[in-house]
Structure 1
Amino acid sequence: MQSSSPLSAPFADSGAPGIAFMLAGITLFSINDALGKWLLATYSVAELLLIRSLSAVLLMAPFLWQAGWMAFRAAPKPGLQLVRVALSTLEVAMFFWAVSYLPLADTVTFYLAGPIYVTALSVVLLREQVGWRRWTAVLVGFAGVLLALRPSAASFTLPALIALTGSVCFAASLVTTRMLRATSNTVLVAGQIAATLLFGVATAPFVWVAPTVLDFALMALFGVFSVVALACINLSLKWTAASVVAPYQYTLIVWAIALGYAVFGDVPALLTLIGAAIIIGAGLYIFWREQMQVRDVAMPTVHP
């Protein structure tokens, strides 16, 4: 980036562009979640994901053309690439299946625990060292999940279990993405879109409901919002340090509560709110400890 860019100098250094893009991305994802829940009152998850993926493919077409077929052939660890897209497809399908039955705030709360699961899975899959402080935060985060689940014969339902399983798949997909960090963003995103498209093609014909023109347009917009939201978050992380922008992802729960109430009349239970607060606190603490470790490693040792 040239020094004449308006994003250089004090404005870029302040972190304002990165924060703005992160908030924009989270806002679009939140609107997408609410739009998806509204459409799922009439249409299936498979149909929704099929039309969303077709819309996303059209939007991504110029970038796919620019990347070329060789970018996909050269992608490292093809087996792990398949595992990653399978996990990402599962987590998306499970999220929207769960959100068609549960309030937005409940489903989003389960998914906010993803970074906590990542810490636990990283020990096994990435051989990362996790100290007792972060393990304590993981256990506290699990306690928050249990509170949000409100385990009882009446509330421990199949949709809640699906949401919980989906959040674990989400965490596993994040870990596999770490393992594939040499893969370009275009290939990673295109792989996810292609997998959900195949899922929709294979399953949507069995549950197809002919959409109205308006609903078809909303489903297409659903795909546009997904790609633009992801682009906003990627730009956020490119322009501003993750330590500055990552905590803003937790505004998801604020949007979920607000949209859930405004659109669907859902009022989250007190235990859900307490569980969400515990999960957010544990997630922020884990993130802070990871940033501390990175800083300590980067800081040169000075001998007296």
Structure 2
Amino acid sequence: MKGPAYMLAGIGLFGLLDAISKLLSAEHLVWQVLLVRFATILAVVLALRAVRPGWGGVLTTRHPRIHLARACAMLGSATFFFLTFTHLPLVEGYLVFFTSPFFVLGLAALALGETPRRSAWGWAVLGFAGVAIGLAPGLAAGLSGAAVGYLWALCGTLCYSLVFVLNRRLRHEAGMARVLFWPALLGFLVMLPPGLLHWRTPDAPALALMLANGVIVGAATACLAEAFRHASAARLAPFGYSGLVWSVSFDLLLFGTLPGWTMLAGAAVVVVACVMSERSAQKPGGKSCDPSARSGSRVAESTAESGSGP
């Protein structure tokens, strides 16, 4: 259960990240918020490596193209989800995001050769139906005020799904430094020109939240990377549904927004799909989605023994 445990922790941290980003979006543009976020990640990684030489393992890689693709997908995901929550409540954006398992199962089958149980496809489709139920009021209204938000959420979901699968491709690379450093460096370089051009000096609380976002996203990324060292993409995908709990909670606590009954009904369907998908994956005699998945624990152990773990 190490993979699912890391996945749940990562999703919870990303829920907090999105809530803080929504708070910041009221007065600050995406370029500035993400510039500070990526700069913070770079600073933390470099500081850790200065205090503890070699922390996180080497920065070089045998798979530069995969890392570049992953960095681009992560940048797209961060940008699109920030824009999503400037238009939508957290729970609505998350329900669009929960189409991700459908995309992940397809990408995992095409790119990784993983063959999920047939029942996993069925439960993923049911989860997609739950998303449709939850968004029914918005769809019936013609997406009048939420069209842009739903579009950004869909783009962010596609990028996230690609990150999900690329993480699995990199599961045999021990160490956390390259997982954090290269996406942060690309994001910093891309956001630097527009971030400086549209810079608005934040007050102390806003700056603290921007800096906290960098630490949170680093911790969340590390959790997801560890999750993929212990389990297949198809098995971990349904655990993304746990974000429902966080999105509803943060919407209520920070923004005073309560989901409607259709949203709750859709969420209930999604949770059932998540639970049943996990039960299906654990049935005796079932084939592993990835024949090499068992080696994930050995990779993590060797990383910890070498001192290159987080």
> Normalization by structure 1: what TM-score?
0.77
Match of 2:299 in 1: none
Match of 2:59 in 1: 72
Matched, 1:205 2:167: no
1:212 Cα deviation (Å)? 1.8
- Seen in structure 2, the aligned counterparts of structure 1 residues 231 and 91 have a Cα distance that, compared at 3 Å, is closer
One-letter amino acid of the counterpart of residue 143, structure 2: A
Partner SS, residue 21 of structure 2: helix
- Seen in structure 2, the aligned counterparts of structure 1 residues 249 and 163 have a Cα distance that, compared at 3 Å, is closer
CA contact (8 A) 1:56 1:193 kept: yes
What is the identity percentage for the equivalent residue pairs of Structure 1 and Structure 2? 26
- Residue 32 of structure 1, aligned match among 17, 20, 26: 17
CA distance in 1, matches of 2:117, 2:209: 46
- Seen in structure 2, the aligned counterparts of structure 1 residues 168 and 194 have a Cα distance that, compared at 3 Å, is same
One-letter amino acid of the counterpart of residue 71, structure 1: V
One-letter amino acid of the counterpart of residue 174, structure 1: F
CA contact (8 A) 1:26 1:249 kept: yes
Match of 1:279 in 2: 270
CA contact (8 A) 2:241 2:270 kept: no
CA RMSD across the alignment: 3.6
Match of 1:94 in 2: 80
1:85 Cα deviation (Å)? 0.9
Instruction: Deviation per CA, 1:262-299: give whole Å up to 9, x if none.
Output: 2112122333222233233333433433344786569x
- Residue 128 of structure 1, aligned match among 114, 117, 123: 114
- Residue 217 of structure 1, aligned match among 208, 213, 226: 208
Match of 1:154 in 2: 143
- Residue 187 of structure 1, aligned match among 173, 178, 192: 178
CA contact (8 A) 2:117 2:281 kept: no
Instruction: Deviation per CA, 1:172-230: give whole Å up to 9, x if none.
Output: 11111111222233211222222222232143133322212332122112212222344
Greater Rg, structure 1 or structure 2? 1
How many pairs were matched up? 281
- Seen in structure 2, the aligned counterparts of structure 1 residues 120 and 180 have a Cα distance that, compared at 3 Å, is same
CA distance in 2, matches of 1:52, 1:221: 8
- Residue 167 of structure 1, aligned match among 149, 152, 157: 157
1:137 Cα deviation (Å)? 2.0
Match of 1:267 in 2: 258
- Seen in structure 2, the aligned counterparts of structure 1 residues 24 and 133 have a Cα distance that, compared at 3 Å, is closer
CA contact (8 A) 2:171 2:228 kept: no
- Residue 82 of structure 1, aligned match among 34, 52, 68: 68
1:146 Cα deviation (Å)? 2.4
CA contact (8 A) 2:56 2:177 kept: no
CA distance in 2, matches of 1:125, 1:27: 27
Match of 1:7 in 2: none
Matched, 1:196 2:181: no
CA contact (8 A) 2:135 2:263 kept: yes
- Seen in structure 2, the aligned counterparts of structure 1 residues 122 and 294 have a Cα distance that, compared at 3 Å, is farther
CA distance in 2, matches of 1:227, 1:193: 9
CA contact (8 A) 2:167 2:225 kept: no
> Normalization by structure 2: what TM-score?
0.76
